[in-house]
Structure 1
Amino acid sequence: MPFLIEAWDNPDSQPVRAGTLKPHLEFLAQNAAKLLAAGAKLEDDGKTMLGSFYIVDVETRAEAEAFLAADPFAQAGVFGRSVITRWRKAYLDGQCYLPKS
Structure 2
Amino acid sequence: MSSEAPAGYLPGDPRYGLSGESLKQYYRTKAAQWAIYCWDVGERSDAVLRTAMPNASGTRNGLLAEQKAYVKSFGERVIGYGHFLSDDGRETLGTSFFMQLDDRVAADAFVANEPMSKAGVYQSVEIHRWSNSFQKRAAEYPRKGLQQFLCFGPKTGTPEFFREHLHAHESYFASYGDSFIFRGPIRSADGTENIGTALLLELPDRAAADKFWNNEPFAKNGGYGRDPRIVRWMFGD
Q: Report TM bin, short chain.
A: 0.7 to 0.9
**Greater share of strand:** 1
Which has the larger helix fraction?
Answer: 2
Bigger relative CO (Cα 8 Å, ≥ 6 apart): 1
Q: Give the share of equivalent positions with the same residue, in percent.
A: 27
Q: Aligned residue for 1:50?
A: 93
Structure 2 length as normaliser, TM-score? 0.38
Shift of 1:74: 0.5
Structure 2 residue 64 is matched with structure 1 residue 21: yes
* Counterpart-to-counterpart distance in 1, 2:38 and 2:89: 17
Q: CA deviation at 1:54?
A: 0.6
Does residue 34 of the first structure (1) align with residue 77 of the second (2)? yes
Looking at structure 2, the residues matched to 47 and 15 of structure 1 have their Cα atoms a distance apart, in angstroms, of 14
**71-80 or 28-37: bigger deviation:** 28-37
TM-superposed CA distance for 1:33, in Å, is 2.4
CA RMSD of aligned residues (A): 2.0
The alignment's TM-score, normalised by the length of structure 1, stands at 0.85
Shift of 1:21: 1.1
Structure 1 residue 32, shift from structure 2 partner: 2.6
Q: Which has the larger radius of gyration?
A: 2
Instruction: Show structure 1 runs of 4+ deviating over 6 A.
Output: none
Provide the residue aligned with 1:59 in structure 2. 102
> Unaligned regions of 5+ residues in structure 2, if any?
1-31, 43-54, 142-176, 185-237
113, 120, 126: which is aligned to 1:77? 120
Structure 1 residue runs without a partner (length 5+): none
1:10 partnered with 2:41: yes
- Aligned residue pair count: 97
